[in-house]
Amino acid sequence: MRDAALMPARVCIVEVGPRDGLQNEPSPVSAEVKVGLIERLIDAGVTYVEAASFDSPKWVPQMADGADVLARIGRREGVTLAALVPNMKGLEAALQAGVEEVAVFAAASETFSQKNINCSIDESLARFAPVIAAAREADVRVRGYVSCVLGCPFEGAIDPHAVARVARRLFEMGCYEISLGDTIGAGTPHKTKALIDACMESIPVTALAGHFHDTWGMAIANVAAALARGVATFDSSVSGIGGCPYSPGATGNVATEDVVYLCEGMGIETGIDLYKLADAGAFISQALKRETSSRVARAIEGKRHRETCGT
């Protein structure tokens, strides 16, 4: 039973594992593994996958094979495959690769903007304007990210109204949805609520998404807080993989398995099969030779083990 007036009946999961999850991996992850992961996510019922990033390979070498990954997957009925683009060059490559949506990414912190995309916030927005216009001209929808919404690795606390100003500019420039990125995973539910309320002064809640990293263990609590304000789209990463190369110390996104389990428990639909999703998580954890960061995936693993052993 849903328990609050604002709570959505259905949540859209934007699976960012193949991009946010893998972009920071120190060793190369093959296109074959990336495709294997995306195939399994789609099989589990995920309908939106951020599959690639078309930025400078000098800055993010792990994402250099985006066109190859997208070509191998091809178009899938009912599934949106999206990519990050920092500039016109990235957009051109993404369009050539046949993506259905792109995302531009700004920040609420000047220092992070410089470190991540080598320009100021204003310069980034000026750079994005023709990118957004050209994408829309090509019938490709554009999401907008704002990073460092609940803290910056270099500047510390960030004013929610500073976030709201950047979010509003992206929305007015034509981004259909603004994803609020807690890049360093420092947020708490109380701050999440204040942030969403500040953004809702100029953007409808239906155009806001939550993007929580889990560095301080608060990501799932922040998802719950955002749900209670009516947010119905969440970016998450299967197995909780990931981090940002330009955000020192930040860990992965909230695990998709944990978000799906939370939603199921609240009577909110996701359209995702939790057990198949856990299989996708096990696949990538094994490929990366790493334990899952998802508590739910660990519980499923334990349950399956007990069932096999008859204990």
Which positions touch Mg ion (CB under 5 A)?
20
Decide: 16 and 262 in contact? Cβ < 8 Å. no
Query: Comparing C-alpha atoms, which of 64, 59, 13, 12 is closest to residue 34?
Result: 64
Out of 99, 211, 239, 284, the residue judged to bind ligand HMG by CB under 6 A: 211
Catalytic status, residue 263: no
Residue 194 partner contact from Mg ion, ligand HMG, none using kind-dependent CB cut-offs of 5 to 8 Å: none
Q: What sign does the dihedral 27-49-280-298 (CA atoms) show? A: positive
Report the alpha-carbon distance of residue 151 to residue 181 in Å, rounded. 10
The reply on whether position 101 binds ligand HMG by CB under 6 A is no
**Segment contacting ligand HMG (CB under 6 A): 29-37, 49-57, 72-80, 270-278?**
49-57
Going through 72-119 in order, the beta strands assigned E by DSSP cover 80-84, 101-107
Q: In this complex, which beta carbon is closest to Mg ion, that of residue 20 or of residue 257?
A: 20
C-alpha distances (whole Å) from 305 to each of 217, 288, 309 are 26, 22, 6
Least separation in angstroms between CB 16 and ligand HMG: 7
**Segment contacting ligand HMG (CB under 6 A): 4-12, 39-47, 54-62, 158-166?**
54-62
The reply on whether position 67 binds ligand HMG by CB under 6 A is no
The reply on whether position 251 binds ligand HMG by CB under 6 A is no
Report the alpha-carbon distance of residue 134 to residue 88 in Å, rounded. 9
Q: Is 283 helix (H, G, I), strand (E, B) or coil?
A: helix
Q: In this complex, which beta carbon is closest to ligand HMG, that of residue 55 or of residue 257?
A: 55
Decide: 60 and 91 in contact? Cβ < 8 Å. no
Closest-by-Cβ residue to ligand HMG is 181
Decide: 13 and 272 in contact? Cβ < 8 Å. yes
Decide: 286 and 40 in contact? Cβ < 8 Å. no
Q: In this complex, which beta carbon is closest to ligand HMG, that of residue 117 or of residue 164?
A: 117
Query: Comparing C-alpha atoms, which of 200, 59, 198, 183 is closest to residue 112?
Result: 183
The reply on whether position 120 binds ligand HMG by CB under 6 A is no
Q: In this complex, which beta carbon is closest to ligand HMG, that of residue 109 or of residue 268?
A: 109
**Segment contacting ligand HMG (CB under 6 A): 53-61, 66-74, 128-136, 165-173?**
53-61
Summarize as ranges the residues that interact with ligand HMG (CB under 6 A).
20, 23, 53-56, 58-60, 84, 86-87, 89-90, 93, 105, 116-118, 145, 147, 181, 183, 211, 213, 244-246
Catalytic residues: 244
